[in-house]
Amino acid sequence: MRGYRPGPVALFVALLVAVFLLMPLLAVVPVSFTPSRMLSMPTGALSLRHYRTLIEDPRWLDSILFSLRVGIFSSTLATLFALAFSLGIWMFRPRFAAVLVGFVLLPMIVPPVVSAITLYFLLTTLSGLGSAVGYDTWPGVVLAHTVVIVPFAVVLILVSLAQVDRRIDLAARGLGASTWERATKIIIPNIKFGIATAWLLSFVLSWEEIGITLFITSVNAITLPRLMWMGLRDNIDPAIAAISVILILITVTVLTVRIVYRWARGLA
């Protein structure tokens, strides 16, 4: 019944909500072009100084490289863990599967601040043992990020496994394929897009993570969000507006490509 469309009142209220959703994203654009050293509003003069700061101040570049390294390591780890676990659940349907899945999803459900204090406990304990994986180190950040992003990777891989036709696997098994062959030659090729999506989502989550990172880093391990946080808390540094505009542009571009692609395919 496609005839049941939103009326003018609903459309008007939805428009207000849409403006509310997009407004803060648009607001950073004029701020990023102001010439002033402090957060200020555009007065007519335009300047690229905040964009220049991003290139000239090594702290920004360092934190971007740091975030990239952490993101690549932690999303790869999380995807591998999640892939093995999900294959185990799908291929063997173990007893208590629901309990096992529930357990690995915990870091997603537990409030971030509780995960943060838990990981703070872990990393300070490891630091006390003299381990290189400890508080305020990059392997420590990788470890913590892996814990909090792995549930998302598990969900995505389980969802793509649910769409695999079990009869293909049954046929392979009937023809004498070993567990290893079934996994690598039959199942993984069928979910490779799901795996790639899981890696990408994990990377984005790690790249943006701040709630946990704040608890486990102080001066050495500075991710990009951590640096933005420091600029936001202390004195509002307009370079944040410039980096925000760049991050928003990247997101909008990727999403536009994806949405247009999906709609074009769906409507074709």
Partner 1 sequence: MRSHFIHPGAALLLAPLLAFLGLAYGIPFLGVVKWSFTLPELGLGQYGTLLTDPLVQSVFVRTFRICALVTLASVTAAYVIAYVWVRGTTGQRLAAEYCILVPFWISVLTRAFGWVALLSNQGLINTWLRAIGILDEPLMLVRNEFGVIVGMAHFLIPFAVFPIASAMRNLDERVLLAARGMGGGRARIFWSVFVPMTMPGIIGAALIVFVFALGFFVTPSILGGGRSVMVAELVYLRIFQSPDWGLGAAISITLVVIVGLLSTALYRYLRPAQMVG
Binding to partner 1 in span 130-149, by CB under 8 A: 143, 146-147
Interaction of residue 125 with partner 1, rule CB under 8 A: yes
Cβ at position 6, least distance to partner 1 in Å: 5
156 touches partner 1 by CB under 8 A? no
Q: How far is the CB of 54 from partner 1 (least distance, A)?
A: 14
Stretch touching partner 1 by CB under 8 A, among 33-41, 44-52, 62-70, 192-200:
33-41
Please, which residue, 27 or 61, has the CB nearer to partner 1? Answer: 27
Q: Considering beta carbons, is residue 109 or 175 the nearer one to partner 1? A: 109
User: Residue 140 burial (CB < 10 Å; 0-12/13-18/19+)?
Assistant: buried
Does position 53 bind partner 1 by CB under 8 A?
no
Task: Decide if residue 229 touches partner 1 (CB under 8 A).
Answer: yes
**Under rule CB under 8 A, residue 249 binds partner 1:** no
Q: Is 20 in the site for partner 1 (CB under 8 A)?
A: yes
Does residue 110 bind partner 1 (CB under 8 A)?
Answer: yes
230 touching partner 1, by CB under 8 A: no
Q: What are phi and psi of 232, to 5 degrees?
A: -80, -35
Among positions 169-228, residues that touch partner 1 (CB under 8 A) are 179, 204, 207-208, 210-211, 214-215, 225, 228
Question: Is 128 a binder of partner 1 (CB under 8 A)?
Answer: no
Figure out which of the listed residues 64, 81, 131, 188 binds partner 1, where binding follows CB under 8 A. Answer: 81
Nearest to 78 by CA among 99, 98, 108: 108
Q: Give CA–CA dist 217/202, Å, rounded.
A: 20
CA 204 to chain centre: 3
52/233 Cα distance (integer angstroms): 22
> Could you tell me if 111 and 175 are in contact, meaning their C-beta atoms sit under 8 angstroms apart?
no
Tell me if 28 contacts partner 1 by CB under 8 A.
yes
Cα–Cα distance between 181 and 189 in angstroms, integer?
Answer: 11
Given a contact cutoff of 8 angstroms between Cβ atoms, the answer to whether 151 and 101 are in contact is no
Euclidean distance between CA atoms 247 and 239, whole angstroms: 12
Q: Which tokens hold the place of 76?
A: 């790869």
Can you tell me whether residue 191 is helix, strand or coil? coil
**Residue 119 sits in the site that holds partner 1 (CB under 8 A):** yes
Q: Does 114 bind partner 1 (CB under 8 A)?
A: yes
Q: Nearest approach, Cβ of 39 to partner 1 (angstroms)?
A: 7
Q: How many residues bind partner 1 (CB under 8 A)?
A: 89
By the 8 A CB rule, do 189 and 65 touch?
Answer: no
Residue 95 touching partner 1 (CB under 8 A): yes
Tokens 């709609």 sit on residue: 263
**Three-state secondary structure call for residue 62:** helix
Decide if residue 23 touches partner 1 (CB under 8 A).
Answer: yes
129 lines the binding site for partner 1 (CB under 8 A): no
Query: For residues 242 and 240, what is the distance between their CA atoms, to the nearest angstrom?
Result: 5
Residue 229 to residue 38: CA distance in whole angstroms = 16
18 binds partner 1 (CB under 8 A): yes
